[in-house]
Amino acid sequence: MDTQNQTTPRAIARVIGGIVQHAQSWGKIWFGLIFWGCVLYAIAQRIWPEANNALLLVISLALGLSSGIYAHIRGYWL
């Protein structure tokens, strides 16, 4: 029992450390995908209200992801 209680905080620390490391290295890509993808999707819905929403979502998220990858390669947004 005692060994299990001692390893649990280490396991949780490893998981949290992995999440933080992932966010630091892939943060720009996730930001581009989620934030810019959603912003572009909202704009596209206003411009083309009769269009297929699934298609607009895929295109918007693809553009957001590509902008995130581009920012990740450059190292900064602007």
Which tens digit of pLDDT belongs to each residue from 3-51?
555 567 888 889 899 888 888 888 899 999 999 999 999 999 999 999 9
Could you give the CA distance from residue 15 to residue 33 in angstroms, rounded to a whole number? 23
Residue 30 and residue 1 in contact, taking contact as beta carbons nearer than 8 Å: no
Could you give the CA distance from residue 53 to residue 41 in angstroms, rounded to a whole number? 9
pLDDT at position 10 is 86
Res 63 pLDDT > 60: yes
Could you give the CA distance from residue 30 to residue 71 in angstroms, rounded to a whole number? 11
Choose among 52, 68, 41, 40: nearest CA to 76.
68
Q: Which domain holds residue 20?
A: 2-74
pLDDT at position 76 is 83
Give 8's DSSP letter.
H
pLDDT at position 23 is 82
> Amino acid identity, residue 75?
G
Domain count, the chain: 1
